[in-house]
Amino acid sequence: MEGQSDSWKQKVHPLFIETARVYRDAVQAFMALGPNPPAEKVSEIDGRYSQELEEVRSRYAQAQYTPTADDPLDIILVDVGPSSWPPSQRELNQAFLEHLYWKRYNEPLWIALQKENAGDLDALPRVFRVAADYERVRFGKGPIKPAKGDPDHAALFELGLDLGLSTLTEEELADCFDAACPCGKIHDPDALKKQRSRKQKALQKARDWLATERAKLPTREWMAAFGMHGLYAKGLPPIGGAPPLVYIGKIGGPALWCVSKTGDVAVLAGPEFASISVLQELPQAFSVTSSKELFAMFFPEDGATKTERC
């Protein structure tokens, strides 16, 4: 493949190419295990996949790029990433459950939970069904009903819409998937374009829902706010003994700061993110006047919490 058929490579970020490679290796390793894979082999591959993914991400953590769309995972998942490495079982479980729900219903789980809270009886059975499937997987009582559509294509779109996939022509999209997708098939440009458009519509629907319902939500910690300069902020509810925190980062990247209830800002990245002027501008990016107010956007009337730390 050369010349024209490689034009997609100029449009997608190398982070996507590397992430897709890690994903493909993991899927192929899974497939090689056959129809009844031993549990310890699965968790071995799973562990290696998470670790390699994290290595790629940290290699690109400081890389500058302009996302071509919002990060789909910011809409699908509640968490901004593991709070420690290796991630706790709780974090792995939560991410798994959220992915499962999204794949099945093309709706983020946190939206379904909000609907359920608000008395939407249609949302309730969906949440129950996925929770039951989740338990089945967790206790090795699978298999569960696969989601509609091609899971590898869905995964690649979720990894890469913000990293350039949203800008490719349908021919480029097919060339890109021919090179990157673990399914090993030759891809049909038109079919891929339709899959991309369905994915984008589902994500847009989630964003629209958030925009109209935001004010009515009793618990705001389940959502992200998008500010100026390509920044996102996301509230993380109290976990275990740890207090709630608001994480802030560049869309598509890991959190760079976190804000506690008292408005203290901890810098999670390099010293260039710690300058006084940067810290002063943070609240303004979200149209509030102080970091304390930024915290209150997500936890409007947070009760007493324990000592703040990040």
By CB under 5 A, name the binding residues for Zn ion. 181, 183
Tokens of 157: 């779109």
- The nearer residue to Zn ion, 163 or 210, going by C-beta atoms, is 163
Of 305, 281, 303, 309, the closest CA to residue 294 belongs to 281
| Residues 106, 154: Cα–Cα separation, whole Å | 10
Q: Provide, rounded to whole angstroms, the least separation between the CB of residue 189 and Zn ion.
A: 12
| Least distance in angstroms from the C-beta of 186 to Zn ion | 9
Q: In whole angstroms, how close is the CB of 205 to Zn ion at the nearest point?
A: 24
For residue 183, the minimal CB distance to Zn ion (Å) is: 3
Give 257's strand partners. 248, 267
By beta-carbon proximity to Zn ion, the closer residue of 154 and 265 is 154
- State in angstroms the smallest separation of the CB of 252 from Zn ion: 23
Q: Which two tokens stand for residue 257?
A: 């700061």
- Write out the DSSP string of 167-198: G--HHHHHHHHHHH-TT-SPPPHHHHHHHHHH
Q: What sections of 12-165 are H helices per DSSP? A: 14-32, 39-59, 72-76, 89-105, 109-117, 123-138, 151-160
Strand-pair partners of 231: 250
* For Zn ion, the closer CB: 27 or 181: 181
| Rounded least distance, CB 212 to Zn ion, Å | 35
**Residue (183 or 267) nearer to Zn ion, CB:** 183
Q: Which phi and psi (to 5°) does residue 106 adopt?
A: 55, 35
Q: Kindly tell me which of 31 and 118 has the beta carbon lying closer to Zn ion.
A: 31
User: Of 147 and 183, which CB lies nearer to Zn ion in the complex structure?
Assistant: 183
- As separate numbers, helices (DSSP H) first and strands (DSSP E) second, the chain gives 12, 5
Please name the amino acid found at residue 289.
T
